[in-house]
Structure 1
Amino acid sequence: MSDASTTLRLIQNEVRRSILERLVREPHYPMQLAELLEVSQPAINKHLKELERGGLVTKEKVPSDKGGPPKRIYSVTQAVSVRIDLGPDLFRIEQRDLPKGGPMRLTGILPEAARPVAEAVSGRKKIAVGEGIEHLRHLTESLGALDRQRDALIALHQQVQSRISAAVDADFEAYEERALVHRLLESPNERLDTLALGQHLGLGRQEVAAMVDEVGARLERQLAERAGHVLAVKPNSDLRWWLGSVKRRR
């Protein structure tokens, strides 16, 4: 299993991309790939080892047609989606594993427009090329619509982030405090990893605790001012879960 960093490193090489482009269609022997890509077989073997080490391809030995020793054949078995969003106030790299299982297992997740395709191909190992082209055309249109919606959501996310960044720059003078707030913004549904933050900024545990106290109090005042009322809670209340868990100063 590879992560996004490994996948990006592997596919940045043009020869490896060409290898993957052919392997996703059907398994190939190293000698086949060398002839098709006009690259030496030792170089092909080196790239295949890198791809195998990164978890993108697998190999198996199959009997030789000419009665010789078994031959190595390579194929792609891992199905992933790598997404990169980059722009002002926007940087996100994510790799997601595609759902496993047959077409009918996907119907609960698929948009309504794509479910007829899953129902049409379920239980069939082969479909005619003409029928398949029609299904793929329909799915490509559905993917295009989803991509446009996702693009709009990402753009809106970027606009919101940009406006927040302007407030962060105005409200927090210290770089370390701004870094803490940005960590909260990057993962708003997750508890802040104060240990990782301290290592990133080169701060000790007590320094991080002091900064969390200061930034947390300031953010809570801003929330109270916006809501028009004040809510008093203990410092260790679960209402402050988003600030993580650090040992408080004494």
Structure 2
Amino acid sequence: MIGFEAALDILSNDTRREILRRLVREPHYGWQLASQLDVSQQAVVKHLNVLEGAGFVNSEKVASEKGGPPKRIYSVKQSFSLRMDLGPDLFRTKHSQLPRGGPLNISNVHGLPDTAIQIATHIGGRRRLAISEAAECITHIQEMLDRLDEQRNALVALHQHVMKRVSRSVEGEFEDYQERSIVHTMLEDPRRPFDLDAMAVAMAPRGLSMEGVEWNFDQLMSGIIPRIGMMDSETFLPVTNNTPLPWWLVQR
């Protein structure tokens, strides 16, 4: 699966989104897409090559019914979710692969609501659904997604309130811009294991040697960690020697 930035760049094109919108309904030939989108076949082929190169779609050659040369037909290959949250104190992106497996496996593994489990049970093992059945299932699924979206939006808004308040603390506690950048990087995902090396490389100024990066970063961290510690010195966690810990549970 390609990264978020590459996926966003590919999907920023209107024609490519329209191509995907039609391909999820059924496989299409290039000439069909060109006709439906009122775009030249040459342009459609270029867009399809981009989508196929990124793994969004795949193609196969199908023999012509009239005995002519085989023609290439396209269908969607990847299944993923692309999300972005933006606010005055928040910027989050996520590119995640959708779960694989049949309906029953998905419902059992991922703890779906009872209504979703009933739908999974109803369609599991069936190769076809009547249009009326599918419409009813999709209606229920869309209603559940709408409720989840409302809850997610509320959580994102709450996340933004937390970031707004902690940003004031960061600004008041750290005068140095680099120190503030490091703290904000840590706060982007407090669950992330404590990896100073990766953080140092990611934030290194251009042209600075690795030795310079390590020295500069160590100097910064030596002044940051004691000022953001939130762990009681009498608190103990039973872990193995190689257990990764989030940065706010690490003592130096």
Q: Shorter-normalised TM-score: what interval?
A: 0.7 to 0.9
Verify: 1:89 aligned to 2:94, yes or no: no
Quick one: which of 117, 135, 138 aligns to 2:137?
135
The counterpart of 1:113, out of the listed 112, 115, 118, is: 115
Superposed CA RMSD in Å reads 2.5
Provide structure 1 residue ranges, at least 5 long, that are not aligned to the other structure: none
Describe the SS at the equivalent of 2:193. Answer: coil
Please tell me whether residue 64 in structure 1 is matched to residue 64 in structure 2.
yes
**How many angstroms apart in 1 are the aligned matches of 2:11 and 2:245?**
42
1:209 is aligned to 2:218: yes
Does the Cα contact within 8 Å between 2:103 and 2:120 map onto a contact in 1?
yes
**SS of corresponding position for 1:107:** helix
- Distance in 2 separating the partners of 1:112 and 1:201: 49
2:159 aligned partner: 157
Unaligned runs of 5+ in 2: 206-211, 237-242
Residues 176, 201 of structure 1: 8 Å contact kept: no
Letter in 2 for 1:32: Q
Contact 1:20 1:76 in 2 (8 A): yes
Q: Matched residues in 2 for 1:124 and 1:219: separation?
A: 55
2:208 maps to none
Tell whether 2:48 aligns with 1:32: no
The answer to whether the 8 A contact 1:85-1:93 is kept is yes
The DSSP-based 3-state class of the residue aligned with 1:204 is helix
* 1:101 paired residue number: 101
Would you say how many aligned residue pairs link Structure 1 and Structure 2? 238
Instruction: Encode CA deviations 1:125-168: one digit per residue, 9 max, x unaligned.
Output: 00100111011101110111111111111111111111001100
8 Å contact 1:4–1:94 — kept in the other structure?
yes
- Paired residue type of 2:247: W
- Kindly provide the amino acid, as one letter, of the partner of residue 8 in structure 2: L
- Alignment of 1:242 with 2:247, yes or no, is yes
**Post-superposition shift, 1:93?**
1.3
1:4–1:95 CA contact under 8 A, matched in 2: yes
1:43 aligns to what SS in structure 2? Answer: helix
> Could you tell me which residue of structure 2 aligns to residue 125 of structure 1?
127
1:216 corresponds to which letter in structure 2?
A: I
Counterpart secondary structure, 2:72 = strand
For 1:176-187, what aligned pairs fall within 5 Å after superposition? 176-187=178-189
CA distance in 2, matches of 1:173, 1:77: 49
